[in-house]
Homo-oligomer: A and B are copies of this chain.
Amino acid sequence: MEKVNLVEKLALFDDYWSPRIVGELNGQYVKLAKLKGEFVWHHHEAEDELFLVIRGSLTMRLPEKEVVVGEGEFLIVPRGVEHCPVAGEEVHVLLFEPKLTAHTGNVRTEMTVKELDWI
């Protein structure tokens, strides 16, 4: 049983929109990701998704509003809700979600990463 240092793990990769797994508990994964630019609109049929911002400022576009999530803040996007994450500058996030969650949800695009790596 080893602790995980978020900044050290984030230093291990540089690509955007490609979450890495850093923990597993109760059928859920803890993931880290670096985001920059605009992702794709998508939703998750059966999974709620938590975004905790470690660094930077994440804009979450939602059907009727946008929420700007800053450092030390989190947003839970409930299942079924369309959302599109946008990062003007580089953003580092921690994600909590079920092991089966695909990060692009119901949408398959060239941004979809099929197999996530543990780091």
Q: Give residues in A with beta carbon < 8 Å to B.
A: 1-7, 23-26, 28, 30, 47-50, 54, 62, 67-70, 72-78, 81, 96-98
Contacts and interface: CB of A to CB of B under 8 A. Distances in A.
Contacts of A97: 25-26
Given A96-B28, A96-B96, A67 B23 contact: no
Contacts of A54: 72
B3 A67 contact: yes
A3 B96 contact: no
B25 A72 contact: no
Contact of A75 (B1, B28, B96): B1
B25 A48 contact: yes
Given A28-B96, A96-B96, A1 B62 contact: yes
